[in-house]
């Protein structure tokens, strides 16, 4: 019987973004005490850090909410980043989570003590606290990836990453350069093309664009949502959303199947029918398969890019000079502002915090080949350490909130073992995880993400880092942890 049976477990949640808030609400529901450690001064994670013009979540707003906290107030089918931040602020207040959050508290180290079965958490200030359970909810696309372009530091005007938006930077009637064509860069082109004097969009690789409808909800519709939450559920669980998710995960796992053909055809027709200028059309035509890079959903990019104020530059950047960007062919683009939509270091997760598990094993060592976690949630050798939106999960395939909620259900059942006093520490066995990882890698290589393109989905060895199975397989896996894959120790 556990020495801790009968005493409340002590929980640390790292990060006050969507997933950390979820964990806090769920623990509060169980009457558990916890502390959330947040390095910034506000909640919100991604939605706090990203404030660029055009920021919109490409998951339908009513599906990008907690299942237990529907929100009738969304202004449109796809919500803006600002609205989403407001939603999380409201939820945090409604559930009175804020007093349990330590702001300005960056976790720098987590050290497991096997004899005591507890984690020592160290903050940047040097302060230490001890916990039984750690929930790592520190986000995925978190650390900006800065491009290595000679002379970048010499640029005379503002040059900044999209997750560090500079509100003082000239955009209106200015000469603006934008490097990067992922979801972020595409959304920014869409938002600022009518504001700038001219916009040079530096495109290293073109993107397939999946056309989706965007529309505003009327006040009458919002009133109806308020009066009858079943109307919200009808959207959230509609074939429009869940059906699309199922079809999408079927497509990425059966890459020559009918669902993938439909995606490819929709993207191709979008390009063929939307872009008038044949030169621009060829510039925008990818040479890899649709959805190999993270598929871009847009209702307005192809209109925006045909604004004469926008020039798509496909040449190689030689270097940055104080006044602009010099191309390898000698062309010079004079710029007032340079925006870097160059993505994120997708392999960091809770790092740079140093995490040390059993027998001195570090996360850096365990992840030396690639970041991994058992079913994206737990790690052998790191007991009582649970990840929300950790490595190998279906990030990018459907609503991250949906993913985190299902992961929480799985985690909660493992924590229940500790609550019931069946032991003091729970972790997957190395053998079970090795088996999972072997199957996952084999499946991942055959997904569309491994079909021949570069992207943040690929790990250092070119293996797609994502969940390689269907939505239903994820649902099934998260319903109940297979306890034979876990070791519970006293």
Q: Is 57 in the site for ligand NAP (CB under 6 A)?
A: yes
Q: Is 45 in the site for ligand NAP (CB under 6 A)?
A: no
Out of 17, 383, 390, 396, the only residue in the binding site for ligand NAP (CB under 6 A) is: 396
Q: Is 147 in the site for ligand NAP (CB under 6 A)?
A: yes
Out of 252, 341, 401, 426, the only residue in the binding site for ligand NAP (CB under 6 A) is: 341
Q: Which one, 150 or 257, has the nearer CB to ligand NAP?
A: 150
317-321 vs 310-313, strand pairing mode: unpaired
Q: Which one, 117 or 210, has the nearer CB to ligand NAP?
A: 210
Out of 181, 199, 355, 458, the only residue in the binding site for ligand NAP (CB under 6 A) is: 181
Q: How many CB atoms are closer than 10 A to CB 272? A: 10
Q: How far is CA 168 from CA 147, 160, 171, 378, in A?
A: 22, 11, 9, 43
Q: Which one, 378 or 399, has the nearer CB to ligand NAP?
A: 399
What is the rounded distance in angstroms from the CA atom of residue 5 to the CA atom of residue 190? 56
CA 167 to chain centre: 24
Quote the least distance from Cβ 424 to ligand NAP, whole Å.
38
What is the rounded distance in angstroms from the CA atom of residue 404 to the CA atom of residue 411? 10
Quote the least distance from Cβ 341 to ligand NAP, whole Å.
5
Per the CB < 8 A criterion, the answer to whether 469 and 443 are in contact is: yes
What is the rounded distance in angstroms from the CA atom of residue 7 to the CA atom of residue 144? 41
Q: Is 180 in the site for ligand NAP (CB under 6 A)?
A: yes
Q: Which one, 152 or 231, has the nearer CB to ligand NAP?
A: 152
Question: How big is the site for ligand NAP, counted in residues (CB under 6 A)?
Answer: 25
What is the rounded distance in angstroms from the CA atom of residue 484 to the CA atom of residue 490? 16
Q: Which one, 137 or 210, has the nearer CB to ligand NAP?
A: 210
Of residues 286 through 305, those in contact with ligand NAP by CB under 6 A are 294
The tokens for 139 are: 């986000």
Quote the least distance from Cβ 72 to ligand NAP, whole Å.
21
Region of 90-98, 152-160, 179-187, 432-440 interacting with ligand NAP (CB under 6 A): 179-187
Q: Which one, 207 or 384, has the nearer CB to ligand NAP?
A: 207
Q: Is 391 in the site for ligand NAP (CB under 6 A)?
A: no
CA 315 to chain centre: 30
Q: Is 56 in the site for ligand NAP (CB under 6 A)?
A: yes
Q: Which one, 302 or 385, has the nearer CB to ligand NAP?
A: 302
Q: How far is CA 294 from CA 248, 377, 464, in A?
A: 12, 22, 11
Residue nearest to ligand NAP (CB): 182
Q: Which residues contact 268 (CB under 8 A, 6 or more apart)?
A: 290
Quote the least distance from Cβ 104 to ligand NAP, whole Å.
26
Quote the least distance from Cβ 185 to ligand NAP, whole Å.
5
Q: Is 183 in the site for ligand NAP (CB under 6 A)?
A: yes
Region of 51-59, 90-98, 222-230, 480-488 interacting with ligand NAP (CB under 6 A): 51-59
Q: Is 182 in the site for ligand NAP (CB under 6 A)?
A: yes
Q: In sequence order, what are the beta bridge partners of 161?
A: 340
Quote the least distance from Cβ 61 to ligand NAP, whole Å.
11
CA 477 to chain centre: 20
Q: How many CB atoms are closer than 10 A to CB 226? A: 14
| Three-class HEC string of 49-113 | HCCCCCCECCCCHHHCCCCCCCCCCCCECCCEHHHHHHHHHHHHHHCCCHHHEECCCCEEEEEEE
Q: Is 283 in the site for ligand NAP (CB under 6 A)?
A: no
Of residues 187 through 206, those in contact with ligand NAP by CB under 6 A are 187, 202, 204-205
List own/partner pairs for 365-370 with CB under 8 A and 24 or more apart. 367/391, 369/459, 369/460, 369/461, 370/459, 370/460, 370/461, 370/463, 370/465
Quote the least distance from Cβ 207 to ligand NAP, whole Å.
7
Tell which residue, 28, 71, 107, 145, has the closest CA to residue 401. 71
* Rounded (10°) CA dihedral 433, 434, 440, 445: 150
Q: Which one, 21 or 141, has the nearer CB to ligand NAP?
A: 141
3-state secondary structure of 270: helix
Q: Which one, 184 or 378, has the nearer CB to ligand NAP?
A: 184
Quote the least distance from Cβ 340 to ligand NAP, whole Å.
8
What is the rounded distance in angstroms from the CA atom of residue 442 to the CA atom of residue 48? 36
Per-residue x/- mask for ligand NAP, residues 442 to 471, rule CB under 6 A? ------------x-x---------------
Rule CB under 6 A: which residues touch ligand NAP? 56-58, 141, 147, 149, 179-185, 187, 202, 204-205, 294, 341-344, 396, 454, 456
């Amino acid at each position: 019987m556990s020495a801790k049976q009968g005493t409340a477990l002590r929980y640390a949640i790292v990060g006050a973004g969507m997933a950390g808030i979820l964990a806090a609400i769920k623990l509060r529901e169980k009457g558990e005490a916890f502390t959330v450690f947040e390095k910034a001064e506000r909640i919100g994670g991604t939605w706090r850090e990203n404030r660029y013009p055009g920021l919109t979540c490409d998951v339908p707003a009513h599906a990008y909410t907690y299942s237990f906290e529907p929100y009738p107030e969304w202004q449109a089918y796809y919500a803006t980043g600002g609205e989403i931040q407001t939603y999380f602020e409201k939820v945090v207040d409604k559930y009175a989570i804020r007093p349990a959050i330590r702001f300005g508290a960056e976790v720098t180290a987590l050290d497991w003590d096997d004899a005591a079965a507890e984690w020592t958490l160290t903050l940047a200030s040097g302060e230490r606290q001890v916990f039984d359970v750690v929930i790592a909810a520190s986000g995925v696309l978190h650390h900006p990836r800065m491009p290595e372009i000679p002379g970048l530091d010499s640029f005379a005007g503002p040059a900044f990453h999209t997750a560090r938006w500079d509100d003082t930077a000239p955009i209106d009637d200015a000469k603006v350069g934008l490097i990067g064509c992922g979801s972020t860069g595409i959304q920014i082109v869409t938002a600022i093309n009518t504001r700038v004097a001219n916009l040079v969009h530096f495109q290293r690789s073109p993107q397939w664009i999946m056309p989706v409808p965007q529309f505003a909800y009327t006040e009458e519709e919002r009133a109806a949502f308020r009066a009858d939450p079943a109307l919200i559920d009808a959207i959230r669980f509609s074939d429009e959303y869940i059906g699309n998710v199922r079809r999408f995960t079927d497509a990425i796992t059966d890459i020559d199947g009918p669902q993938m053909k439909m995606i490819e055809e929709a993207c191709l027709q979008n390009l063929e029918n939307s872009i008038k200028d044949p030169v621009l059309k060829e510039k925008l035509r990818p040479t890899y398969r649709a959805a190999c890079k993270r598929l871009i959903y847009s209702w307005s990019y192809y209109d925006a890019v045909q604004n004469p104020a926008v020039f798509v530059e496909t040449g190689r950047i030689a270097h940055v000079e104080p006044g602009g960007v010099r191309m390898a062919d000698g062309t010079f683009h004079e710029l007032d502002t340079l925006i870097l939509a160059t993505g994120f270091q997708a392999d960091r997760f809770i790092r740079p915090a140093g995490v040390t598990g059993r027998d001195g094993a570090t996360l850096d060592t365990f992840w030396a080949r690639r970041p991994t976690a058992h079913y994206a949630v737990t790690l052998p050798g790191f007991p009582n350490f649970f990840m929300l939106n950790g490595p190998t999960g279906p990030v990018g395939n459907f609503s991250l909130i949906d993913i985190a909620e299902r992961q929480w259900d799985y985690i909660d059942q493992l924590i229940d073992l500790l609550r019931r006093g069946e032991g003091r520490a729970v972790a997957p066995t190395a053998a079970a995880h090795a088996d999972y990882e072997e199957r996952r890698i084999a499946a991942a290589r055959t997904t569309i993400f491994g079909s021949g393109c570069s992207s943040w989905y690929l790990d250092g060895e070119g293996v797609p880092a994502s969940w390689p199975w269907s939505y239903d397989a994820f649902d099934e896996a998260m319903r109940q942890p297979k306890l034979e894959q876990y070791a519970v120790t006293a």
